[in-house]
Structure 1
């Protein structure tokens, strides 16, 4: 191996190692952010349950509510239900159901409630009627207000994917790929508040199953960081070994002469 090739090899190895180290520190930053979020949610989970039954009680700190327990009272809007498509549970195809709740009544703010999961062979058209128990609070137009307990969860703009309008039970419903309030505002007549409630255990006489739990760990970012740092070490060590072996072969060839 010529001196020029050795220099080029070293430059490439150092460049790759620098890139791998940078990616490793980026993963450590992500690990720190996720860990802080988990700690924050755990602390908020211990806070007293927020009771929101009047339109004037709108919580202002949306981000600071993620993970906090809450009880909301209002009126369900079953006609405005939104489907989060292609959600599997125990190997079965299905979808999750987002139901608007008018807090405090028809004039109150709209909160999207992630009520749970329903089976759907195509992952798109669950039997929404099966997700309701035969109780006065679940019946449209009933005098008794609906009350739902749950935990506030986060949404993210841009995760909704391609919006679809699908017919379910003779009515049109919006179907999206993820919990995206901005997309719901664009594609429906709803104007939901920035709060999303993941409901607790569904009624025993409804076909709903609990929706996905919110994340409670810091994810795989720390292990990813270790991998990137390992790649950096391998790149440098491998290059050094290769150059050393080439040097030994060159020395042996000279001695053989």
Structure 2
């Protein structure tokens, strides 16, 4: 018996593949756009850091008079007051450049009567050691702090709410609610404390590069193009193979018809 030629066009298979490609393409394009948005944010942060680093140091009252946003971050301010040493917290799982360790935050009762949260700085944690349960008290008496304006970090309640003298993220609103203190929104990352403190490194400003966002965006865009091109290649090859199968079946049928009957 001769083989039957290939049947009708497989529209259902092609439409199913088309639907899959559309879903993947939309996902890839959205991911590429997300990376481009991240790139814009990174460029904006870089501009903010450069502009603020070149600006003069301001009194903290001139900045901490509204909720702190990204546009306020990394300005240098100065504040004078007294540390509330009994409210000190260890901030776990922090990085400063390539180093891993922890930071320490403590409220400062400023001379204007308000209380602002101060990040005393970063301490490297030796490999294999756990986080400490206590750290040295801040300088007593009146101090002056020069530091960076920082926006509250955002995260789940179990990361922003202090427990057993430590916390995961620095959020003055959550720390104030837990301690019973009224803290101004945001906090200050200390660069210099007078009288001086020892054992702390200032937290570094973000690196002034654009990161991998552009390359990631191009990768996701290329995946979308590959998916679309792959669809057309698959359909073209499918049509070609079906034509070859139909031609082969036709030749076999013609050969069978030309054979003398027994």
The answer, yes or no, to whether TM exceeds 0.5 is: yes
TM-score in terms of structure 2 length: 0.76
CA distance, structure 2, for counterparts of residue 69 and residue 243 of structure 1: 61
Helix, strand or coil: the match of 2:158? coil
Task: Give the Cα separation in 1 of the matches to 2:63 and 2:39.
Answer: 32
Mapped pair 1:149 → 2:146: yes
Match of 1:165 in 2: 163
Map 1:179-190 to 2 at 5 A. Answer: 179-190=170-181
Give 1:227's aligned residue: 219
**Aligned equivalents of 1:221, 1:90: Cα separation in 2:** 19
Residues in 2 aligned to 1:92 and 1:47: alpha-carbon distance in whole angstroms? 28
Shift in CA distance, 212/188, structure 1 to aligned 2, threshold 3 Å = farther
Cα distance in structure 2, aligned partners of 1:60 and 1:91:
34
Quick one: which of 11, 15, 40 aligns to 2:19?
11
Render the CA deviation track for 1:1-35: whole Å, top value 9, x for unaligned.
Answer: 72221122122212321232133223322322332
Contact 1:159 1:177 in 2 (8 A): no
Alpha-carbon distance in 1 for matches of 2:63, 2:22: 55
The 4+ residue runs of structure 1 with deviation greater than 4 A are 88-93, 201-205
- Superposed CA offset, 1:129-178 (max 9, x none): 1x65xxxxx12xx3xx2011111122134356344532xxxxxx3x1111
Alpha-carbon displacement from aligned partner over 1:195-242 (angstroms, at most 9, x marks no partner): 311111578872223334345444443333222212211111122222
Q: Rate the CA distance shift 1:191–1:223 in 2: closer, same or farther, 3 A.
A: farther
Change (3 A) 1:60 1:91: closer
- Alignment TM-score, normalising by the size of structure 1: 0.78
CA distance in 2, matches of 1:103, 1:251: 84
| Contiguous gaps of at least 5 residues in structure 2 | 1-8, 250-262
How large is the Cα RMSD of the aligned pairs? 2.9
1:214–1:83 distance in 2 versus 1, CA, 3 Å: farther
Taking the aligned partners of 2:109 and 2:117, their CA distance within structure 1 comes to 9
For 1:65, what is the secondary structure of its paired residue? coil
* Bigger radius of gyration: 2
Aligned residues: 234
Name the CA shift for 1:192/1:223 in 2 (closer, same or farther; >3 Å): farther
Q: Secondary structure at the match of 1:85?
A: strand
Range moving further from structure 2, 205-214 or 70-79 = 205-214
Aligned equivalents of 2:243, 2:232: Cα separation in 1:
16
Distance in structure 1 (CA, Å) of the matches to 2:98 and 2:73: 29
Distance in 2 of aligned mates of 1:160 and 1:176: 10
Q: Which residue of 2 aligns with 1:108?
A: 113
Instruction: Say if 2:168 is the partner of 1:177.
Output: yes
Quick check: 1:114–1:196 contact (8 Å CA) kept in 2?
yes
| Pair 1:78-2:85 in alignment | yes
Q: Take 2:149 and 2:220, find their aligned partners in 1: how far apart are those partners?
A: 35
